[in-house]
Amino acid sequence: MMLLKDEAAELCGRAQNGDFAAASELIALFYQRIFAYLRRLCPNEEDAADLTQRTFSKAWSSLGSFAGRSSFSTWLHGIAYHVYLDWRRSANPAQAQSEEWWRSRAADEPGPDEDAAAREAAEQLYAWVEQLEDGQKQVVHLHYYGDLSLSETAEALGIATSTVKYRLREALEVLRNKAARGTLATERRRL
């Protein structure tokens, strides 16, 4: 991760000096993560790809203002988050990802134990994440799915780190409660 940060910083510096090759390498490094982040938020692949294009377009136009206080990844995720917000406000308000998609994602990438019960639990958990409040859902997406640290998540969302922690705690509590209720219902069905 540290190497990636250093490499990104160097590439960013070169891109700021007009180096297209460096910019191309930056895209190769981050476009998958950005697309995945947006795809988890958007209902279809086309929208996610479109928002990814917009994100990088904004990144190039604002590259001069990037001072390096945060990592390039964080900065890019922040842009993607705002692009997503703009898009959701203008085009698709409150349109969330379908549960089927999440189930299919879980089915595509089963858990480490290859256990059907665990896979089912993961599917259910992903679906519950989508039912969280927007603030909680964003921190879960960036911190857990996007693998950003707490401070990076806070910086990308433009909020305080303590807020990120608080939202994560709340989100985990909600998920834990739902999981407990889901387990109880499963046991009842078995009985």
Partner 1 sequence: MTDTQIEEILRKGPQPAPPVWLLKQLQSEITLAQPGWRAAERPARKRTLRRWLPALAFGLFLLSCLVIVGVQANLVGELKQQNQQLRAAGGELEQLRNQQARHNALEAEREELERLRQESDEVVRLRAEIGQLRGELGDLERLRSENEHLKAAFRRARASAPAVMTAAPAPPPKDEAEACVNNLKQVGLAIRTWALDNQDRYPTDIISCSNELSTVNVLICPGDSGKQQFKNIFWGQFRPEMVSYELSLSGKDESATPEHIIARCPIHQNVLFSDGSVKRGPGNPVPQRSGATNNSP
176 scored as a contact of partner 1 (CB under 8 A): yes
Nearer Cβ to partner 1, position 89 or 190? 190
The token duo for 123 is: 């599917």
The token duo for 91 is: 């085009």
187 scored as a contact of partner 1 (CB under 8 A): no
Angle (deg, nearest 10), helices 20-41 and 2-16:
120
User: Near partner 1 by CB under 8 A, which window of 55-63, 71-79, 81-89, 152-160?
Assistant: 55-63
34: region left, alpha or beta (phi > 0 left; psi from -120 to 50 alpha)? alpha
| CB count in 10 Å sphere of residue 58 | 16
**CA–CA separation, 87 and 119 (whole Å):** 32
129 scored as a contact of partner 1 (CB under 8 A): yes
Q: Find the binding residues for partner 1 in span 145-174 (CB under 8 A).
A: 145, 147, 172
| CB count in 10 Å sphere of residue 162 | 10
Q: Which of 23, 80, 127, 142 binds partner 1 (CB under 8 A)?
A: 23
108 scored as a contact of partner 1 (CB under 8 A): yes
| CB count in 10 Å sphere of residue 177 | 11
Residues in contact with partner 1 by the rule CB under 8 A: 15-20, 23-24, 27-28, 31-32, 35-36, 39-40, 45, 48-49, 52-53, 56-57, 60-61, 63-65, 67, 102, 105-106, 108-109, 111-112, 118, 121-122, 125-126, 129, 140, 144-145, 147, 172, 175-176, 179-180, 183
